[in-house]
């Protein structure tokens, strides 16, 4: 006998576990929000003609008894309410998704849905009679109360068939037999409801519908409603069933019979409106025809493909940056294919390798961000998959040979038995590889969906490629804008320097005519200082455009930073409340770079950090070496790239405004006043770019800003 947890894990990896279509996940999310989303909810439903038709048919039936016929979905949502619409949609779609399975004389799907739908109708009638706030919630809970039986039947057909043959209509024996499998159908149903993120009390109504009556007396209303509805929904009622209704609600026998009579009238009507095929239990041999099963199977596949090709693609194209695209793709894979372990490797043409892209969901994003697989890595599944443009997996491609160490380490890192690598290419160009961590049973199930996976990977590749083209375009525009700005700046500097020089000469002559003790001498000195400041600002306009002969030399970053802090002691002393904290990693590698340019970068960033803290604060400077290795030696064959040197400078200032952020590294953009030209960061950006480095920042309003510089450590440098 296995445990409940192990059973649920086994069901998750079995050949089929139904998931709500993407359109329903959107609908449920929209219904959770406020009433302003009514138009959005209507639009979501209208995108599914079949679902839209069913809802309008049901809304216009005697089941709701509205005075006028409703033609508009928005009008239907307004009149019936978001919860009712959501529950109708979930019920109809769950039926379609599950009904692609096969029934037989032991487990008749028509009989199953007859009992489930009758329980739903009875539950709604009880809810209305007892003034329960959400009768449609009772309807959906009643419809799904036995859904755990379907999960057993789909995943363990032979075992469950034998169990049903042995137990027949004896519920106590059936529950005991199910416990031998690991859990009862009540527990499985509640677990599935939680997976679908439905209301927790709805899950409870499934969990407790076979509990002893004395326990139900103290339960919340929805649990009691479904419990009584289930007891009254069998083909024939026993005295005990009437007693349950009397004990919980005080219903007399005649009231129960009246309620059941009304339920029988509504049952067939609702089944017809929702296109649910039913038959009372006496028709045990009634099963779906082969044609009917094929139709339901096609419908389920169409729902899935529609979700994949429209909803997912739309979400990907709406993502505005690389991080969002990767996060959206990861979440989509989890929803559409029920895969938990996913890694994205994006191709870097400069490094000629695949770099693992960390997401916010990963707890070990630091390690992931340093996973680099070179395209030269011999026989690596990832590199080979991208080079050949076809999916490869460790289950079949390593059947006769042992995987190379890189792949073994990634599989071990993922924590699964193997992996499936899906290449991403766009217009013949490398984009990256999606790596799915799988166990053998998961791989066997997923292999049936390879066409959908390929379509999905093409969508992700397209979205990432479009984002890369957009970023390249922005870089080109920024370079052109910078060149135009520099040309104008040089003209301005040339024209303004002449009158400034004349002004200084006249001030000097005026000073010579006055005595040294004349009070005007101080004013003249102030004017000279202001002219000098104007000259400095003008000089900075073109300072970063001047081409100098670069002198690349070995540089110890820690020594350079320590010396700068000592040299800038005078400037820092003017800001007495500034405390500098150095966190310099020991034994950093010496890098080959342009020392003077790097010094200018550090000075600009440190001065900026100090100036945004006029009332004082902490300035943090940190260095570290980020190795390209994972656990010591991930890419031992690839010797050219040896990792990055990372320098972080963090202040406790007000942060960068959202208005400035998109143009932060453009020239003449600044949030500071008092003569600041707005060129410091553009100078820093251009210098780091010329050194083949990276410059990024993180800033939060009221909590400061952190600039992070990455400089490559390449072959030939001391490690």
Tell me the per-residue pLDDT of 637-691, one tens digit each, with 9 for 90 and over: 334 446 788 999 999 998 888 777 776 776 544 555 444 444 567 778 888 888 8
d(C-alpha 706, C-alpha 424), whole Å: 33
Residue 620 has pLDDT above 60, yes or no: yes
Query: Which strand (E) or helix (H) includes residue 594?
Result: strand 591-594
Extents of the domains making up the chain? 105-287, 307-468, 547-714
Single out the residue of 118, 116, 97 nearest to residue 107, CA to CA.
116
d(C-alpha 105, C-alpha 11), whole Å: 24
Single out the residue of 645, 611, 616 nearest to residue 628, CA to CA.
645
For the domain spanning 105-287, the CATH number is 1.10.3210.10
Tell me the per-residue pLDDT of 146-203, one tens digit each, with 9 for 90 and over: 989 988 888 888 888 888 888 777 777 788 888 888 899 999 999 888 887 776 788 9
Which has more pLDDT, 33 or 603? 603
User: What pLDDT is attached to residue 8?
Assistant: 81
Single out the residue of 450, 426, 456, 455 nearest to residue 438, CA to CA.
450
User: What pLDDT is attached to residue 589?
Assistant: 86
Single out the residue of 294, 235, 250 nearest to residue 101, CA to CA.
294
d(C-alpha 23, C-alpha 362), whole Å: 27
Single out the residue of 618, 592, 605 nearest to residue 693, CA to CA.
592
Residue 500 has pLDDT above 60, yes or no: yes
The CA angle 488-659-534, to the nearest 5 degrees, is 40
How far CA 123 is from CA of 55, 128, 132, 522, 703, in Å, comes to 19, 9, 10, 93, 54
Tell me the per-residue pLDDT of 297-329, one tens digit each, with 9 for 90 and over: 454 555 555 545 555 666 676 777 788 888 888
User: What pLDDT is attached to residue 557?
Assistant: 92
The mean pLDDT of 337-351, rounded to a whole number, is 87
User: What pLDDT is attached to residue 436?
Assistant: 93
Tell me the per-residue pLDDT of 252-277, one tens digit each, with 9 for 90 and over: 999 999 999 888 888 888 787 677 78
Single out the residue of 276, 324, 331, 223 nearest to residue 113, CA to CA.
276
Work out the mean pLDDT of the chain and round it to a whole number: 77
Domains 307-468 and 547-714 are alike in CATH topology: no
d(C-alpha 628, C-alpha 635), whole Å: 8
- Of 3.30.450.40, 3.40.50.150, 3.40.50.300, 3.90.550.10, the CATH number of 307-468 is 3.30.450.40
Q: Is the pTM of this model over 0.85?
A: no
The answer to whether residues 404 and 378 touch, using CB atoms and an 8 Å cutoff, is: yes
For the domain spanning 547-714, the CATH number is 3.30.565.10
d(C-alpha 588, C-alpha 570), whole Å: 28
Which has more pLDDT, 707 or 58? 707
The answer to whether residues 227 and 207 touch, using CB atoms and an 8 Å cutoff, is: no
Lowest-pLDDT range of 187-191, 220-224, 478-482, 560-564: 478-482
């Amino acid at each position: 006998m296995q445990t409940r947890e192990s059973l649920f894990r086994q069901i998750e990896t079995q050949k089929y576990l139904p998931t709500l279509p993407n359109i329903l996940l959107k609908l449920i999310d929209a219904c959770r929000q406020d009433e302003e989303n009514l138009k959005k909810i209507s639009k979501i439903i209208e995108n599914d003609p079949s679902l839209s038709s069913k809802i309008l048919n049901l809304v216009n039936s005697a089941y709701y008894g509205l005075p006028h016929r409703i033609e508009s979905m928005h009008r239907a949502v307004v009149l019936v309410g978001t919860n009712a619409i959501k529950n109708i949609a979930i019920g109809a779609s769950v039926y379609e998704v599950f009904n692609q399975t096969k029934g037989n004389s032991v487990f008749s799907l028509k009989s199953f849905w007859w009992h489930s739908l009758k329980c739903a109708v009875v539950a709604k009638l009880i809810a209305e009679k007892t003034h329960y706030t959400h009768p449609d919630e009772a309807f959906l809970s009643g419809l799904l109360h036995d859904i755990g039986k379907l999960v057993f039947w789909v995943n363990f057909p032979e075992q469950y068939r034998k169990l049903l043959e042995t137990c027949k209509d004896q519920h106590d024996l059936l529950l005991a037999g199910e416990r031998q499998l690991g859990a009862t159908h009540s527990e499985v149903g509640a677990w599935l409801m939680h997976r679908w993120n439905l209301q927790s009390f709805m899950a409870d109504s499934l969990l407790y519908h076979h509990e002893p009556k004395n326990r139900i007396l103290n339960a919340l209303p929805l649990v009691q409603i479904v419990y009584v509805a289930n007891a009254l929904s069998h083909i024939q009622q026993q005295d005990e069933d009437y007693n349950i209704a009397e004990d919980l609600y005080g219903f007399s026998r005649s009231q129960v019979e009246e309620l059941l009579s009304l339920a029988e009238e509504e049952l067939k009507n609702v089944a017809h409106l929702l296109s649910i095929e039913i038959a009372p239990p006496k028709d045990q041999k009634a099963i779906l025809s082969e044609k009917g099963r094929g139709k339901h199977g096609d419908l389920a596949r169409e729902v899935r493909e529609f979700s994949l090709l429209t909803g997912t693609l739309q979400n990907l194209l709406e993502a505005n940056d690389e991080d969002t695209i990767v996060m959206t793709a990861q979440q989509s894979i989890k929803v559409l294919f029920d895969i938990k372990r996913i890694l994205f490797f994006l191709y870097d043409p400069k490094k000629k390798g695949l770099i693992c892209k960390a997401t916010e969901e990963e707890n070990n994003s630091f390690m992931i961000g340093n996973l680099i697989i070179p395209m030269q890595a011999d026989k690596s599944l990832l590199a080979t998959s991208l080079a050949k443009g076809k999916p490869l997996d460790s289950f079949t491609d390593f059947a006769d040979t042992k995987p190379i160490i890189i792949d073994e380490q990634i599989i071990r890192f993922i924590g699964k038995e193997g992996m499936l690598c899906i290449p991403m290419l766009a217009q013949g160009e490398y984009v990256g590889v999606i790596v799915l961590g799988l166990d053998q049973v998961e791989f066997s199930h997923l292999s049936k969906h390879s066409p959908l996976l390929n379509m999905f990977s093409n969508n992700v590749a397209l979205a990432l490629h479009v984002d890369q083209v957009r970023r390249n375009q922005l870089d080109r525009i920024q370079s052109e804008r910078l060149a135009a700005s520099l040309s104008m700046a040089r003209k301005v500097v040339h024209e303004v320097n002449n009158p400034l020089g004349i002004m200084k000469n006249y001030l000097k002559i005026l000073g010579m005519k006055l005595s040294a003790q004349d009070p005007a001498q101080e004013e003249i000195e102030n004017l000279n200082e202001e002219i000098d400041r104007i000259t400095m600002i003008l000089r900075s306009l073109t300072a970063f455009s001047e081409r100098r002969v670069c002198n690349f030399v070995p540089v110890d970053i820690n020594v350079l930073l320590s010396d700068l802090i000592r040299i800038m002691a005078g400037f820092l002393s003017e800001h007495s409340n500034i405390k500098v904290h150095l966190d310099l990693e020991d034994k950093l590698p010496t890098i080959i770079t342009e020392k003077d340019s790097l010094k200018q970068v550090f000075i600009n960033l440190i001065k900026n950090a100090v100036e945004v803290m006029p009332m004082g604060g902490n300035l943090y400077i940190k260095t570290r070496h980020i190795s390209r290795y994972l656990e010591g030696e991930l890419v031992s064959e690839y010797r050219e790239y040896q990792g990055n040197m990372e320098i972080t400078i963090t202040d406790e200032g007000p942060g960068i405004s959202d208005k400035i952020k998109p143009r932060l590294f453009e020239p003449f953009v600044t949030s500071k006043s008092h003569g600041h030209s707005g060129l410091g960061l553009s100078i820093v950006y251009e210098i780091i770019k010329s050194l083949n480095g990276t410059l990024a920042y993180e800033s939060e309003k009221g909590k400061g800003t952190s600039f992070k510089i990455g400089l490559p450590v390449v072959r030939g440098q001391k490690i």
